[in-house]
Amino acid sequence: MQALYAQLLVGLINGSFYALLSLGLAVIFGMLNIINFAHGAVYMMGAFAAYFLLNLGGINYWWALLLAPIIVGIFGMILERTMLQWLTGLDHLYGLLLTFGIALIVQGVFQNYFGSSGLPYAIPDQLKGGMNLGFMFLPVYRGWVVIFSLVVCIATWFLIEKTRLGAYLRAATENPTLVRAFGVNVPRMITLTYGLGVGLAALAGVLSAPINQVRPLMGADLIIVVFAVVVIGGMGSIMGSIITGFALGVIEGMTKYFYPEASNTVVFVLMVLVLLVKPTGLTGRAA
Amino acid sequence: MTALTDDRLPAPPRAIRDEMIVFVVMALLLAAVPFSGIYPFFVMQALCFALLACAFNLLIGYGGLLSFGHAMFMGTAGYCSAHALKVWALPPELGILVGIAAAFGLSLITGFISIRRQGIYFSMITLALSQLLYFIYLQAPFTHGEDGIQGIPQGRMFGVFDLTKPTVLYYVVLVSFLAGFLLIYRIINSPFGEVLKAIRENEPRAISLGYRTDQYKFLAFVLSGTLAGFAGSLKVFVAQNASLTDVHWSMSGEVVLMTLVGGLGTIFGPVVGAFAIIAMQQYLASFGQWVTVIQGSIFVICVLTFRRGVIGEIAHYLRRSL
């Protein structure tokens, strides 16, 4: 049973990353009508930002948790201002191609300087060690990742669904022209939204740095799984992305325990099954 | 809905004549390669990718569907051909047929699944399916995992053409490529191709005119996947191996790049794009990962400033369809 609980925990952690990443993808898609292929690359940049902050600036994990998403978010906003905004009105596919190109550039540059091997990032002192829960041993850091991600996801949900800013955002998603007529600066909102989505990915990167090491290609394969998560969940609902992300992480963890050979493929197989039964995705509207 | 490429009327006779002239020039130039001192291996490799890019272009350029998993057809056909040639010791022509049949079967299944969603979702689904297949091939015993299938015998095609001779192999690859190219050209200019273009431009209208657009898209997907498989089978004879790189997502990305550089929805664009990208990889091989950075930069530049691609720009300038 110990091993089962351990895999369940791994699944919850992966689920946190899926949730944070697919949440960002959904928010960006809602405002920009772009599928951000660079999402895996910015996730990696978040982890590297934390690594640089620690090793070059001596800035610890807690500050990195705040600063890395901001730094990467600003990078994202610059991308949006200089490149993505010119795609407005073009076919969605160009956004996919452009962000794919950006992902190749970013990953290529990091690979040049850091190779493909992993750089270690130590768990902060306050989160070292573990707790004995009676039925299993829980490393504190892993428990922290799950709870903190959950809090961030719910905060994002609250921001978008329950606040005035979120209402503007949802309105601009439905009809940007009309919202502009009310005097809201929609282009600036689009830039900020992209920054937010990218920042969430970077945050996931910081969280994963002590667990998975910091590697240039850490986001390259992850983003494809997240795409499958997004296809399964649909991008219509924020809460839908969060729940689907966590649920698929847990299912993947369970598969690792019961049938490890299929742990790489289970999310994709589920995607196929969902497409056969309910082509619009679990929470989705027609695209 | 904005159009992906230039609006074009059905090809008038003059356009067809232009295209045939360019085709003949291309065929003659390629036929002269063995006498020119250019390394034939490089051209053969480029021809395989050119056929793959043309097959991919049939789907994106004329059907408006961006598949981000086209490497799966090439890789699957490659593995199956390689297995048939090496383990079953089939002659080359049957080996190619096995590969094409495998790609055909795979495109039936993946097409049935992915065609249920449109636009951006279609791209994500094809990418996810190709990743699924990648992991299957990584674990399946017959692909030999990381090593791939190596040392594939080339044999005698139809019992006559000795494919171990580079020149013979070159002309077999060239003829296969030209045949595939003409087939795609015929599909594009058939009534089926016209309906496909109509769906790309305005799907609700095509539906209102009574076309079952899903069936047209499905057929385009299957044709594209099968032809991509043909390219994969040919590549087995050139490279004499079949490996995981041929099913990896980065390969699918390269095919997209080739077609984008040459010109989406142009007839000769994918060929030009394939030669350009393969040549770039050849000459910049010593720069390691910078090749990835350069490829990414080309993506960005093409999307931001150069959406018609090389051939698309030329065709636009000459006001011809190429």
Nearest Cβ partner for A107 among B114, B292, B307: B292
Strand partners, A137: A132
Summarised one tens digit per residue, pLDDT across range B249-260 is 999 999 999 999
Query: Angle at the Cα of B248 (from B245 to B252), degrees rounded to 5?
Result: 110
pLDDT in tens, B144-191: 888 888 888 888 888 888 888 888 999 999 999 999 999 999 999 999
What are the DSSP calls for A112-138, one per residue? Answer: HHH-SSPBP-PPPGGG-SEEE-SSSEE
Q: What is the pLDDT of residue B10?
A: 55
Asked if residue B304 has pLDDT above 60, the reply is yes
Confidence of residue B4 (pLDDT cuts 50, 70, 90): low
CATH number at residue A85: 1.10.3470
Question: What mean pLDDT do residues A117-145 have?
Answer: 86
* DSSP-assigned states of every residue in A178-228: HHHHTT--HHHHHHHHHHHHHHHHHHHHHHHHHHH-B-TTTTTTHHHHHHH
Angle B98-B96-B128 from CA coordinates, rounded to 5°: 65
Res B9: pLDDT: 52
* pLDDT, average across residues B8-15: 61
Average pLDDT, chain B: 90
* pLDDT confidence of residue B174: 96
Task: State yes or no: pLDDT of B321 exceeds 80.
Answer: no
The answer to whether residue A263 sits within a structural domain is yes
Q: CA A95, CA A113: separation in Å to the nearest integer?
A: 28
The C-alpha angle A272, A277, A281, rounded to 5 degrees, equals 70
* Whether the predicted pLDDT of A287 surpasses 80: no
First-to-last CA distance in chain A? 42
Amino acid type, B78: G
**Model confidence at B54: pLDDT above 90:** yes
Q: In b/e form, how buried is each residue of B163-184, taking b as 16+ CB within 10 angstroms?
A: beeeebbbbbbbebbbebbebb
Handedness of CA A251, A256, A258, A262 (dihedral sign): positive
Q: What is the ipTM of this complex?
A: 0.91
The arithmetic mean of pLDDT across residues B261-273, rounded, is 94
Query: What is chain A's length?
Result: 287
Residue for token pair 């065929």: B27
Write down the pLDDT at residue B116: 83
| Within-domain flag for A284 | no
SS3 A139: strand
Question: Per residue in B286-316, is it b (16+ CB within 10 Å) or e — as a string?
Answer: eeebebbbbbbbbbbebbbeebbbbbbebbe
Q: For residue A255, what pLDDT is reported?
A: 93
Is the pLDDT reported for residue B1 higher than 70? no
% of chain A at pLDDT higher than 90: 61
Closest Cα in chain B to A269: B132
Residue A131 is assigned to a structural domain of this protein: yes
Q: Which of residues 143-172 of A touch B (CB under 8 A)?
A: none
Of the pLDDT bands very low, low, confident and very high (cuts 50, 70, 90), residue A261 is: confident
Query: Which residue of chain B has the CA closest to A216?
Result: B289
Residue B110 reports pLDDT greater than 90: yes
pLDDT for B2 = 44
Pairwise CA distance, residues A67 & A56, whole Å: 14
Label residue B137 by pLDDT band (50, 70, 90).
very high
- The stretch A33-41 carries a mean pLDDT of 93
pLDDT winner (highest mean) among B101-105, B139-143, B277-281: B101-105
Contacts of A268 in chain B (CB under 8 A): 128-129, 131-132, 135
C-alpha closest to that of A201 among A184, A218, A176: A218
Is residue B8 scored above 60 in pLDDT? no
Per the model's pLDDT, the better-predicted residue between A49 and B283 turns out to be A49
Q: Does A43 touch chain B (CB under 8 A)?
A: no
The angle at the Cα of B189, spanning B185 to B195, to the nearest 5 degrees, equals: 125
- pLDDT > 70 fraction of chain A, expressed in percent and rounded: 98
Establish if A91 touches chain B: CB-CB under 8 angstroms.
yes
| Cα dihedral A172, A176, A177, A183 in deg (nearest 10) | 40
Q: Which of A269, A275, A278 to mutate to test the interface with B (most CBs of B within 10 A)?
A: A275
Give the model's confidence band at B227: pLDDT under 50 very low, under 70 low, under 90 confident, else very high: very high
User: Which residue of A84, A85, A90, A93 to mutate against B (max B Cβ within 10 Å)?
Assistant: A93
Residue written as tokens 């594209």?
Answer: B224
Res B38: pLDDT: 82
Cβ contacts below 8 Å, chain A against chain B, sum to: 131
Specify if A191 maps to a domain: yes
Please report, as a single letter, which amino acid is at residue B269. Answer: G
- In B257-267, which positions are buried (b, 16+ CB within 10 angstroms) versus exposed (e)? bbbbbbbbbbb
| pLDDT above 90: residue B18 | no
Q: Is residue A285 part of a domain?
A: no
| Top-confidence range, A4-13, A30-39, A269-278, B98-107 | B98-107
For chain A, the domain total comes to: 1
CB nearest to A98's CB, from B66, B131, B303: B303
In a domain, A287, yes or no: no
Nearest-angstrom CA–CA distance, A158 and B167: 68
d(CA B182, CA B204): 31
The pLDDT, as a whole number, for residue A238 is 86
If DSSP states are collapsed to H, E and C, what string results for chain B?
A: CCCCCCCCCCCCHHHHHHHHHHHHHHHHHHHCHHHCCCCHHHHHHHHHHHHHHHHHHHHHHHHCCCCCCCHHHHHHHHHHHHHHHHCCCCCHHHHHHHHHHHHHHHHHHHHHHHCCCCHHHHHHHHHHHHHHHHHHHHHCHHHCCCCCEECCCCCEECCCEECCCHHHHHHHHHHHHHHHHHHHHHHHCCHHHHHHHHHHHCHHHHHHCCCCHHHHHHHHHHHHHHHHHHHHHHHHHHHCEECHHHHCHHHHHHHHHHHHHHCCCCCCHHHHHHHHHHHHHHHCHHHCCHHHHHHHHHHHHHHHHCCCHHHHHHHHHHCCCC
**Can you give the pLDDT at residue A284?**
59
Which one of B118, B125, B256 has the shortest CB-CB distance to A231? Answer: B125
Domain contains A219: yes
Q: Which domain holds residue A61?
A: 2-277
Residue of A nearest to B5 (CA): A91
> Looking at the complex, does the CB of residue A90 fall below 8 Å from at least one CB of chain B?
yes
pLDDT at B12: 63
Q: What is the pLDDT of residues A178-224, one digit of tens each?
A: 999 998 899 999 999 999 999 999 999 999 999 988 999 999 989 99
**CA–CA dist A93, A96 (Å, integer):** 5
pLDDT at position B88, please?
92
Is the pLDDT confidence value at B266 over 80?
Answer: yes
Mean local confidence (pLDDT), B41-58: 95
Is residue A283 one of the residues assigned to a domain? no
